[in-house]
Amino acid sequence: MLGIRCAFLPDAPELTGFFPKLILQSVLEYRAYALVIPFVVILARLAPWELLAAVTLAWFLISAVRLETFRSPLEFWQRLWEESHHPRIRLHFTEELIREIERKQKRGADAGREIALAGRLISETVRHGGGLA
């Protein structure tokens, strides 16, 4: 819950160790969504309401900032690519990324940065299998 990760991975010794990580990153890996409930229930029992109000407000503001994540469909597909683990699914999202670039080019906008990004993602996808084998 504090965003600290301990890992023991016999197949990947370079990843084994003690890693302080950001809270969200840690949760994305371990999916602690439901575990927040006992945590906040106990917190609500222990803390005075003034402190709870201040903490709730601060957390709400941080959450609101976090919601501003995807400003474009391109960022959305890139995020999905990063979230997915399976090469074939990644390939699908790369295709969506390419379609988005084509749409952007049809509108006459410069898509140089996006093309470079798509190239990198395709390269990584294919290197890790890409469902092409």
Partner 1 sequence: MAFVFDDQAVIDRYERWQAAGIAVNPVSSLRYWWRGARAATLMSNLITLRLAGLTPWVWHVQNALFHALNAALVFYLFGFWPAALFFAHPITGGLSVYVSIRADLLMTRYALLSAVFLCWGGSWLLCSVLALWMARSAKACGVIAALGLWLTAWCFSGRM
Distance linking the first and last C-alpha atoms of the chain: 40
Question: Does 127 contact partner 1 by CB under 8 A?
Answer: no
State in angstroms the smallest separation of the CB of 75 from partner 1.
Answer: 9
Nearest to 93 by CA among 74, 80, 104: 80
| Pairwise CA distance, residues 133 & 119, whole Å | 19
Looking at residue 15, what DSSP letter applies?
A: G
Candidates 7-15, 43-51, 107-115, 122-130; binding stretch for partner 1 (CB under 8 A): 43-51
Site for partner 1, residues 13 to 32, rule: CB under 8 A: 23-24, 27-28, 31-32
Q: Which residue pairs from 74-78 have beta carbons closer than 8 angstroms and sit at least 24 positions apart in sequence?
A: 74/100, 74/101, 74/104, 74/114, 74/117, 78/117, 78/121
| 73 touches 100 (CB < 8 A) | yes
Q: How many residues bind partner 1 (CB under 8 A)?
A: 45
Comparing CB distances to partner 1, the nearer of 9 and 35 is 35
Site for partner 1, residues 48 to 87, rule: CB under 8 A: 49, 52, 55-57, 59-60, 62-64, 66-67, 69-70, 73, 76, 79-80, 83-86
| Residues forming the site for partner 1 (CB under 8 A) | 23-24, 27-28, 31-38, 40-45, 49, 52, 55-57, 59-60, 62-64, 66-67, 69-70, 73, 76, 79-80, 83-86, 88-89, 92-93, 96
